[in-house]
Amino acid sequence: MTTSKKILIISYYWPPAGGPGVQRWLKFVKYLPEFDIEPHVYVPDNPTYPLLDEKLVSEVSDKAIIIKQPIFEPYGLASVFSKNKTKKISSGIIPNQKKQSFVEKAMIWIRGNVFIPDARVFWVAPSVTFLKKYLKEHQIDTIITTGPPHSLHLIGLQLKKEMNITWLADFRDPWTTIGYHKQLKLSAWAANKHKSLEKEVMNTCDQLIVTSPTTKTEFEAITSKPIAVITNGYDVEKVVKKPLDEKFTLAHIGSFLSARNPRILWKALHELTTTHAAFKAQLELKLIGAVSAEVLQSIQEFGLESYVNHLGYLPHDEAIVAQRSSQVLLLIEIDSEETKCIIPGKLFEYMISERPIIAIGPVQADFAHIIKETNTGTFFTYGELEALKAQIELTFEQFQQNNLMVNPIGLQQYSRKALTEKLAKLLITKH
């Protein structure tokens, strides 16, 4: 009789946290026992999550052993002064620099220069003390840290230095090249500190896991340690089937950040509503999730506010239902060199929704390749206004003819179970 291999996963985001950060390891943990791996999951007991989704608690595998320890987060103190601003900044929504209040400027400066690498850094020392004992008692010799927040990699770093363990560092997003990193008002000293910690983590762990090929290439310039690409993916979910929206709905699910503001899309829609009476009568912009003030202002500037149906944040299961009843799904990524590597987690849920995707992002974006190879939609750069407009018009014609559909190919490789199998092989090889 074989004994399951035990591993310890150190994560900040865990149910009842909402948003994309929680999904990756919630699903890995769900499937790891099928590959004879027993997951122990270490998470904070009293975290400050910007989004909550209580329904996700029921998705936690009953085969997982969950360990919780208290965390001190200065965001809790800051929220006494401005709860809404604190929530936004902690979730990565950084206001436009020209429109930042004094409080926002101070909070962003402190976030970048005092709490290095982030405001969860106070959890590192107590976690190391607790986990050294826990790992010995439960005879666990393999740990995985997942970030952001990248403070969790410092827990792995210290445990690796003090114990005979195998350590895999999972980067859901890059560290110093993530889009918002430059907006943190970093001093030269703070910028160097971030860089040196990043380099030490990457050169001390036994294995790196990243979510995109571009991040792998980027990290190969910093370390010679092995790097595996395991993207995010989709899970097979029982979803209440609703009829498709009667209007021509363009739906965006997830946080619509200021830097992700697609003026090219608003311009295309403005021109189509101005010249195309049927389009004007049928258009609806369905926004699910937090939307920045800058995005809403741009929508207004292009005269599109009357088409907006802003549903706010919805629990994951409700968001999926709303997504699958939409006519078209919008996937928008920031137009910068740093975001080529970002493959949004929602892409994979989009791909199995049987609705066409219209995506806008930087030149050579990794997710453009996935959309093309799976035949799930069309991708445009920020310089392709006329092509984008033509695609929206074509899609609208198919909608009018009741013939708007998509025929995906090769999706199975992105299923959560297939991706967990890839992870399990890595864990067994490293043992």
Residue 225 above 50 pLDDT? yes
Q: Could you give the CA distance from residue 180 to residue 165 in angstroms, rounded to a whole number?
A: 33
Which has more confidence, 215 or 185? 215
Q: Mean pLDDT over residues 267-289, rounded?
A: 97
How confident is the model at residue 78, as a pLDDT?
Answer: 41
Q: What number is the average pLDDT over the span 410-417?
A: 96
- Portion of the chain with pLDDT greater than 70, in percent: 88
User: Could you tell me if 325 and 360 are in contact, meaning their C-beta atoms sit under 8 angstroms apart?
Assistant: no
Band of residue 177 on the pLDDT scale cut at 50, 70, 90: confident
Question: Which residues sit opposite 216 in a β-bridge?
Answer: none
- Buried b or exposed e, range 259-296, using 16+ CB within 10 angstroms: bbbbebbbbbbebbbeeeeebeebbbbbbbbbbbebbb
Instruction: Quick: pLDDT tens for 123-168.
Output: 999 999 999 999 999 999 999 999 999 999 999 999 999 999 999 9
In 205-301, which ranges are continuous DSSP H helix? 213-220, 263-275, 277-282, 293-301
Based on C-alpha coordinates, what's the Rg of the chain? Answer: 22
Looking at 146-249, list the stretches that DSSP marks H as alpha helix, in order from N- to C-terminal side: 151-162, 188-204, 213-220
**What is the reported pLDDT for 89?**
41
Going from the N-terminus, what domains does the chain have, and what CATH number goes with each? 5-233+415-430 (3.40.50.2000), 248-400 (3.40.50.2000)
- Cβ distance 357 to 395 under 8 Å? no
Looking at residue 99, its pLDDT comes to 58
Q: What are the respective helix, strand and coil percentages of the chain, to the nearest 5?
A: 50, 20, 35
- The predicted-structure confidence for 361-412, as pLDDT tens digits, reads as follows 999 999 999 999 999 999 999 999 999 999 999 999 999 999 999 999 999 9
Would you state the pLDDT for residue 101?
66
- Torsion on CA atoms 107, 111, 112, 116, rounded to nearest 10: 160
Sheet containing strand 328-332, edge to edge, reads 308-312, 283-288, 248-253, 328-332, 357-361, 377-381
Tell me the average pLDDT across 87-96.
46
The region that residue 312 occupies, defined by phi over 0 for left and psi between -120 and 50 for alpha, beta otherwise, is left
